[in-house]
Amino acid sequence: MYRIGVDLGGTNIAVGLVNEAHKIVKKQSAPTGAERAGEAIAADIAKLCLAVCHAEGITLRDVACIGIATPGIANVDTGVVEYSCNLPFRKFPLAECVGKELGFDNVKIANDANAAALGEAVAGAAKGSKNSMMITLGTGVGGGIILDGKIYAGFNHAGGELGHVVIEVDGALCGCGRRGCWEAYSSATALIRMTKEKIEECRAEGQSTAMADAAKITGRTACDAMRAGDEAAKEVYDKYVKYLACGLTNMINIFQPQVISLGGGVSGEGQSLIDALLPLIRKEQYGGDVVELTQLRIAELGNDAGIIGAAMLN
Amino acid sequence: MYRIGVDLGGTNIAVGLVNEAHKIVKKQSAPTGAERAGEAIAADIAKLCLAVCHAEGITLRDVACIGIATPGIANVDTGVVEYSCNLPFRKFPLAECVGKELGFDNVKIANDANAAALGEAVAGAAKGSKNSMMITLGTGVGGGIILDGKIYAGFNHAGGELGHVVIEVDGALCGCGRRGCWEAYSSATALIRMTKEKIEECRAEGQSTAMADAAKITGRTACDAMRAGDEAAKEVYDKYVKYLACGLTNMINIFQPQVISLGGGVSGEGQSLIDALLPLIRKEQYGGDVVELTQLRIAELGNDAGIIGAAMLN
């Protein structure tokens, strides 16, 4: 049997047909049109589900389940999206809507970061682990918690907001309204802010830095300049790594997961990021010389994690 | 059937015979003698188990299980204490040792903070909840996580160290070696430190405060003086509450537990503490107007939580 995974984003809907080896065999996408009503978005999801089946030469009778990864608070029991920032969902019965369009019963939903974590746990960097977490270092800091092979999201389905854990009281303002959230220090956005701040500081102090030559400051600017030997860039990178290690150590002291995988843009730094983080984490984490320790890995599935995780919701 | 719960501390061993209504019907205790070998401590635990049975006029045949709450990292699968700070346990097979002394098979162990959280979940402030946490505000900040009625402690049994989550990077030094841990701001010890610092500050600035008149500074000094109208004391209390609310909001954003119960010395402040915390938490937590929210309560079982939770380990 196949499964269908849907990754519903603020910009695009991506739908994948997933085989029993957890590989995406067909993928199609369309613009979300987030300004439209929920029903119209659900109808497009349904169309894409049929399209991937058609492309593979199968029908929905060959599909065991459809899973949808959605931004916001997803009630996995009822299939209702309670709320989403980026989409017009307020207590919207997304699973039911898509199911009705298709005459298909088995439609599940989950929060998108949680679905991506499940994808990595089933078929990616945390494959085979008893419990794991995925931390996504992108525009924000997203997180998903997988315990005994299942998403953990709390009694009200709103948990796992790992980016909104304060690591610096009265610190940098976060988009969520709190000050000092992990997200405000460890997202790609934060890395860009730190880079710009340092360039300004260099300018003010008449210190030279290659970072100032970048046409556009991105999350890579500091990393690339640091590798080219730029001192100011190394300061930015070290600061970023220090905060990221702090938040990761927090997660380990709370969860002691078998695996933490890092996804999102910044994780493109790869093993060198892990190598920079691990000594800081090992020095501060609980359980040091006594028990087996959490493994820190780069996520493996990239943008497919959400589709694959969604496909595995049931 | 009865159950036996053992609360093994650095100073005392307390053993309770627990009935089917989760009440302690007999309790006995003895000094731990933490300087002795693990086997000697295990032998005393066994003696106390027999003593509570004798006092109730029953035998071990009337006992379904024995559970031991111990400081340190307790491997619940093997019954081995991997490590404990306060006791001479290094990979010590505590459950097996006590079981052999008694010729009794069904002996389980758990970390003491975790067992207390289980006690509150089964028979205390979090009774009837699907998932819950207990935060103990004492010498340190202890924590226990209960998911689906069971203790969660990670793949290596070392998780749930909620006090050792950094909320202020480069902040106050914690006993664990990290800087800025929640424990360094929200323990009774931290409240006493903040109180002493404020008294010093008042002295230096020639400001009067009733707190300075206390024969001995305790966790209650600032709270009592604040209620008597002392301005400096109110500043201390407000600061303490701010940090505590920050850490609790962190836990809610991660876990969205149905109930968080507060135990330990500071929780003696009761409902007024909850009333001070809730507005700060509600303002910052995720899920605000959309979903059902975590309830914050004062723990109900006091020192019995560990015994009752230990009794329920199997």
For B39, counting Cβ atoms within 10 Å of its Cβ (0-12 exposed, 13-18 middle, 19+ buried), the class is middle
Q: Do B158 and A242 touch (CB under 8 A)?
A: no
Tens-place pLDDT, residues A268-283: 999 999 999 999 999 9
Looking at chain B, how many residues does it have? 314
Identify the closest residue of chain A to B147 by CA–CA distance.
A154
pLDDT in the model for residue B124: 98
Residues of chain A with CATH 3.30.420.40: 2-120+304-311, 128-298
Q: Which residue has the tokens 């006493």?
A: B192
CATH 3.30.420.40 correct for A128-298: yes
Q: What is the mean predicted confidence (pLDDT) over B55-68? A: 98
> Is the pLDDT reported for residue B281 higher than 90?
yes
Task: Take residue A270 and report the two structure tokens written for it.
Answer: 């790869």
Query: Which residues on chain B are in Cβ contact (under 8 Å) with A250?
Result: 165-166
Q: What is the mean predicted confidence (pLDDT) over B306-314? A: 97
Task: Take residue B121 and report the two structure tokens written for it.
Answer: 């979940």
Task: Take residue A14 and report the two structure tokens written for it.
Answer: 């991506």
Q: What is the mean predicted confidence (pLDDT) over B168-178? A: 95
What single DSSP character describes residue B173? B
**Spatial CB neighbours of A197, under 8 Å, sequence gap ≥ 6:** none
**Spatial CB neighbours of B79, under 8 Å, sequence gap ≥ 6:** B93, B94, B95, B96, B99, B107, B108, B109
Query: Which residues on chain B are in Cβ contact (under 8 Å) with A141?
Result: none
* B2-120+304-311 homologous superfamily: ATPase, nucleotide binding domain (3.30.420.40)
Asked whether B51 and B16 are in contact (CB, 8 A), the reply is no
Question: What count of other Cβ atoms lies within 10 Å of the Cβ of residue B156?
Answer: 20
Q: What is the CA radius of gyration of chain B?
A: 21
Q: What is the CA radius of gyration of chain A?
A: 21
Angle A202-A208-A213 from CA coordinates, rounded to 5°: 95
What is the predicted ipTM?
A: 0.96
> Is the pLDDT reported for residue A174 higher than 90?
yes
pLDDT in the model for residue B273: 98
Tens-place pLDDT, residues A25-38: 999 999 999 999 99
* B129-298 homologous superfamily: ATPase, nucleotide binding domain (3.30.420.40)
Percent of chain A with pLDDT over 70: 100
Asked whether B115 and B310 are in contact (CB, 8 A), the reply is yes
Query: How many Å lie between the alpha carbon of A174 and the closest alpha carbon of chain B?
Result: 11
Query: How many Å lie between the alpha carbon of A188 and the closest alpha carbon of chain B?
Result: 19
Give dist(CA A246, CA B180) in Å, integer: 10
Give dist(CA A80, CA B201) in Å, integer: 54
Tens-place pLDDT, residues B111-167: 999 999 999 999 999 999 999 999 999 999 999 999 999 999 999 999 999 999 999
pTM summary value? 0.97
pLDDT in the model for residue A86: 80
Give dist(CA A145, CA B155) in Å, integer: 13
Residues of chain B with CATH 3.30.420.40: 2-120+304-311, 129-298
Q: What is the mean predicted confidence (pLDDT) over B190-215? A: 95
